Amino acid sequence: MSTDLRLCRSLLFLPASNPRAIAKARELQADMIILDLEDAVKDADKAMAREAAAAATKEGFGGRPTAIRVNPVGSRYYGEDVVAVRHSSADYVVLPKTESTKQASDTAWLMGKPVLTMIESPRGVIEAAAIAPASRGLIAGTNDLSASMGVPPDAGRGGLAYALQRIVLAARAAGVPVFDGVHNALEATDALAAECEEGRLYGFDGKSVIHPNQIQTVNRVFAPSEAELERAQKLVAAATGGAERHDGRMIETLHVDQARALIAKARA
């Protein structure tokens, strides 16, 4: 799969044990599909979910990148997940609760797939800079991270600010994409839009979603607006190289590169 994951705005997590959700996902506008074998699947349904995930990846999702989220390293389900994912047509494997480079690199080797690592614990945040180079991208697991940090339920994301910024910094230092965690309310609310705006300001490329109702809002906020696109196009057209004045401010090569990246995302 040659898709530049930095162009993905919405990553839809859905239970691999739910055939209706899998079928519906093919009609949705999520940029990436992640078939979940972990938290969304009951223990009694794990085996069935593995088979369903492998079958779904073979059928595909209209050319969009697909991934399978396995159970954590050390879980009693991990070994069977290895076999299922290795023989699937998934483009990526999502590894939850990653806390070391070894976990990421071993998973990539065992499953024969590039790995997207989820940072969901204090240890994971501390090790994120080491984990990122062994990953094809980072995903913030905000629910588990909040719980493991002792952030009170429904307290908002203020207590996660430092952790989220460290995850973004780790990804940027390694040159890999990075995605914000889920919003727990299932409707497309003002709170969801505000959280997306916050995530974009932190530097996230996109956001995980857990319900179809969230996709449109996430896609809209993480896509460049018409005004942003117009400013970027004017900047690129005006630039002649080196430091120069444009629209009342100084610009240089890095601003031109940023503008071109924004235009590429808008076109994608």
What pLDDT score was predicted for residue 234? 80
Same domain, yes or no: 32 and 101: yes
Same domain, yes or no: 137 and 178: yes
Query: How does pLDDT run across 96-134, given as a tens digit for each residue?
Result: 999 999 999 999 999 999 999 999 999 999 999 999 999
Same domain, yes or no: 147 and 248: no
| Torsion angle, alpha carbons of 254, 259, 265, 268, to 10 | -120
Same domain, yes or no: 151 and 237: no
Any idea which residue has 């369903």 for tokens? 52
Same domain, yes or no: 261 and 210: no
Domain span at 71: 5-222
The rounded distance, in Å, linking the Cα atoms of 56 and 66 is 9
Give the total number of structural domains in the chain. 2
| Residue 240 pLDDT grade (very low, low, confident, very high; cuts 50, 70, 90) | confident
Query: How does pLDDT run across 20-73, given as a tens digit for each residue?
Result: 999 999 999 999 999 999 999 999 999 999 999 999 999 999 999 999 999 999
Cα–Cα distance list, 69 to 12, 102, 182, 249 (Å) = 11, 18, 15, 45
The rounded distance, in Å, linking the Cα atoms of 227 and 250 is 19
Return the bridge partners of 119, or none. Answer: 140
